[in-house]
Amino acid sequence: MPVSSFAYAIPYLLVFLVLTVLCNYEFRLLEHNRATTRVRWMTFGLLWFFIGFRGFVFTDFISYYPWFEGLPSLWTGNTLSTLDSDVETAFEPGFVLYAILCKSVIPNYFAWNITSAFIDLFILDRIFRRYSRYYALSFLIFFVMGCAVLEFNILRNAKAILIFLLALPYLKQRKPWKYFGMILLATMFHVSSLLYFPLYFFLHRRWPKVVLLGILLVGIAVTAGHIKFLFPILNALGGIIGGRAGALIEIYLNSDLYAQPYSLGIGYLERIITYLLVFFTYGKWQDRTGDRYLFPNLYVLFFISFTCLWELGVALERISYLFMASYWIFYPQLLAYCRTLGLKLALFLYIFVLFGLKLTQQTSNIHLKYDNILFGIASFDTRKSVVKATLET
């Protein structure tokens, strides 16, 4: 069985095409000032079916499946024993308790996936209805930019990121205790959420254009020039902060699997283009709440994370995804900002072509070979052996 094949991408591209049709349907409804409830239900249902009812897809199921099977329920006791102190095997306590609660209701791994997908999509539904002018387009971009990794692999990060997005109104309203309380809850699902704490002080502000331009130029120089500076800094930082975070830094830096640099490709070009779009439209459009800076600034942080972390692929994945939501709101709002039909069509064509290519590139890997529990799936041992074989080559 080939490691890479276009055939693996076909199920994802079919969903992408259906979402594209739903986007156009929503555009027509909005043009005639008609309700888009039907679009919402169809978009939500499609993604819940695809994400929630998946089999053993991607790679992290190798860890999550046996871990979930070994969890106690509220009825069997020994709940506190699952809050393992071993850094290499422990999950954050909020995520552990959430999984135990789910298992106590329905003790089945796939039911847990279905429940988790519903919760995540429900939160995204609230977020997109609050901030985005084009609901289906936000979900289409989410499907390309983050869905597979967040919903199939880094499950703890996904919950933490969604909690942060729910906390944004408190940041904007300058309610520090509510914001910090939400971020503290997010850290109970993934420790990387600690990076959200300082955002309270500057994410809502307008940043000088000269600073934004400098970030772009430095970012291009560092990544294109393959300038390495991260490992010495992280080694020193890990020794200073200690604890779980320091131990994780040490584990990642000394791992042959995790300590791999991020390869530059079509995604690199796309990030430069997106940054330029953010730069030239900065402060010129607003989301549905009237804010002009939250999500453009969030994208700048996303770009900075690539600049700083390209040497360490696993850190890049974990940290950059903290700011990935910028895509989900920025492009729909940019489309709404376009004044003429020609500009709207050009931007939508750009989104369709570039993000379609990105999706094809991302999902043409055997790890993402899709199957669905309603139609039969490969066994855990079969998919695990494929992952092991490909990661070790």
pLDDT tens string for the chain (393 positions)? 789 999 999 999 999 999 999 999 999 999 899 999 999 999 999 999 999 999 999 999 999 999 999 898 888 766 666 665 444 447 889 999 999 999 999 999 999 999 999 999 999 999 999 999 999 999 999 999 999 999 999 899 999 999 999 999 999 999 999 999 999 999 999 988 999 999 999 999 999 999 999 999 998 888 777 666 666 666 666 666 666 566 666 656 665 555 555 666 677 888 999 999 999 999 988 888 888 999 999 999 999 988 877 666 666 777 889 999 999 999 999 999 998 889 999 999 999 999 999 999 999 999 999 999 999 999 999 999 999 888 765
The answer as to whether 130 is a domain residue is: yes
Residue 251 resides in a domain = yes
Q: Report the amino acid identity of residue 342.
A: G
Report if residue 153 sits inside a domain: yes
Answer for the pair 333, 138: CB distance below 8 angstroms, yes or no: no
Contact predicate 307/219, CB 8 Å: yes
Is residue 128, in this structure, part of any structural domain at all?
Answer: yes
* 304 in any annotated domain: yes
Give the tokens for residue 75.
């009825």
pLDDT of residue 91: 85
> Domain count of the chain?
1
At 204 the pLDDT is 94
Ramachandran region, residue 57 (left: φ > 0; alpha: ψ -120 to 50; beta: rest): beta
Is position 347 within any domain? Answer: yes
Q: Say how far residue 302 (Cα) sits from the centre of its chain.
A: 11
Distance in angstroms (rounded) separating the CA atoms of residues 52 and 152: 9
Count the alpha carbons within 13 Å of 253 in the hemisphere toward its beta carbon: 17
Per-residue pLDDT at 220:
87
Residues 238 and 87: their CA atoms lie apart, in Å, by 14
1 in a structural domain: no
> pTM (2 decimals)?
0.91
pLDDT of residue 87: 45
Give the range of the structural domain holding residue 87, as residue numbers without chain letter. 6-391
DSSP codes, 112-154 = HHHHHHHHHHHHHHHHHHHH-S-HHHHHHHHIIIIIHIIIII-
> What pLDDT, on a 0 to 100 scale, did the predictor assign at position 110?
97
CA distances from 329 to 207, 292, 316, 365, 382 (A): 19, 11, 21, 28, 38
Residue at 235 is within a domain: yes
pLDDT for the residue 97: 93
